[in-house]
């Protein structure tokens, strides 16, 4: 069981962004994807989700080629939390989360009581149940991010893919979301997230995939890969390492 890519080339119709990507995300595991701006992280996520067709190589979900799965099968397996943008339509927050349930029913069927209960439970889990009746267009960027996570979880997927899930969150909510990510893995989901913060990857991810210019720079266990030399190579800046008395480290950019 895994979400895997082998020799994957990916990009847009007119433009290849990355190639030779090897990736294997197992249930119960957290994988952090790190790379400089424009290195191809979001495009890779969209390819793993089946939103962009691969330009080469193999993509498989639990051993089956991703391209052979129906949209509904994919939606039941893979939850996606995109970077939060202001919505166009003033659906209520509750309706946005309820949309995550369409993966489990007919697009035309009315949501069941069970669907509504799950949507509300996920809003509560993310601490935003009080926003349920508010228009999605009239909540803050950070609140939108939490609502999008609730929507992905309402899908009850086996894998969750999050694009910079903490980018617009305050310090407290960053911690809350990262703890939630660990909790999802403990419940058996495979979790893949992108981040610009190596400290977050070190603290919350089991494995790390570093990409630069669409190529794998390094892949492996977070504790082994997240060292200053490697981060300097990835980001092209000096890195300062802070250590506490118990051997824990944190990194600061621009040393």
Ligand X SMILES: Nc1ncnc2c1ncn2[C@@H]1O[C@H](COP(=O)(O)OP(=O)(O)OP(=O)(O)O)[C@@H](O)[C@H]1O
Q: Does 41 bind ligand X (CB under 6 A)?
A: yes
Q: What is the distance between the alpha carbons of residues 247 and 206, in angstroms, rounded to a whole number? A: 18
Least distance between ligand X and beta carbon 198 (Å): 13
- Of the two residues 235 and 251, which places its CB atom closer to ligand X in the complex? 235
Least distance between ligand X and beta carbon 33 (Å): 9
Residue 53 token pair? 């067709």
Q: What is the distance between the alpha carbons of residues 8 and 50, in angstroms, rounded to a whole number? A: 13
**154 neighbors 119 (Cβ within 8 angstroms):** yes
Q: What is the distance between the alpha carbons of residues 20 and 151, in angstroms, rounded to a whole number? A: 32
Question: CA dist 196 to 28, 37, 153, 158, Å?
Answer: 23, 9, 23, 25
- Of the two residues 43 and 173, which places its CB atom closer to ligand X in the complex? 43
Q: Does 132 bind ligand X (CB under 6 A)?
A: no
* Region near ligand X per CB under 6 A, out of 32-40, 57-65, 94-102, 136-144: 32-40
- Of the two residues 131 and 209, which places its CB atom closer to ligand X in the complex? 209
* Region near ligand X per CB under 6 A, out of 39-47, 139-147, 175-183, 197-205: 39-47
Residues 216, 221, 226, CA angle at the centre, nearest 5°?
A: 75
Q: Does 37 bind ligand X (CB under 6 A)?
A: yes
- Footprint on this chain of ligand X (rule: CB under 6 A): 12, 15, 17, 35, 37-43
């Amino acid at each position: 069981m895994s979400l895997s890519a082998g020799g994957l080339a990916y990009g847009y119709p007119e433009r290849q962004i990355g190639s030779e990507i090897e990736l294997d995300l197992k249930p119960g595991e957290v994988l952090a994807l790190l790379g400089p701006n424009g290195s191809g992280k979001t495009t890779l996520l969209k390819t793993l989700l089946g939103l962009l067709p691969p330009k080469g190589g193999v993509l498989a979900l639990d051993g089956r080629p991703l391209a052979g799965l129906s949209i509904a099968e994919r939606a039941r397996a893979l939850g996606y939390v995109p970077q939060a943008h202001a919505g166009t339509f003033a659906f209520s927050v509750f309706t946005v989360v309820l949309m995550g349930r369409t993966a489990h029913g007919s697009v035309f069927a009315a949501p069941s009581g069970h669907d509504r209960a799950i949507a509300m439970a996920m809003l509560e889990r993310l601490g935003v149940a009080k926003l349920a009746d508010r228009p999605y267009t009239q909540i803050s960027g950070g609140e939108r991010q939490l609502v999008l996570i609730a929507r992905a979880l309402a899908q009850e997927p086996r894998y969750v893919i999050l694009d910079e899930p903490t980018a617009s969150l305050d310090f407290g909510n960053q911690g809350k979301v990262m703890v939630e990510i660990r909790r999802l893995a403990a419940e058996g989901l495979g979790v893949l997230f992108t981040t610009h913060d190596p400290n977050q990857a070190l603290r919350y991810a089991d494995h790390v995939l570093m990409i630069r210019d669409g190529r794998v720079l390094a892949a492996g266990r977070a504790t082994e890969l997240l060292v200053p030399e490697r981060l300097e190579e990835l980001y092209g800046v000096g890195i300062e390492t802070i250590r506490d008395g118990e051997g824990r480290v944190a990194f600061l950019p621009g040393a």
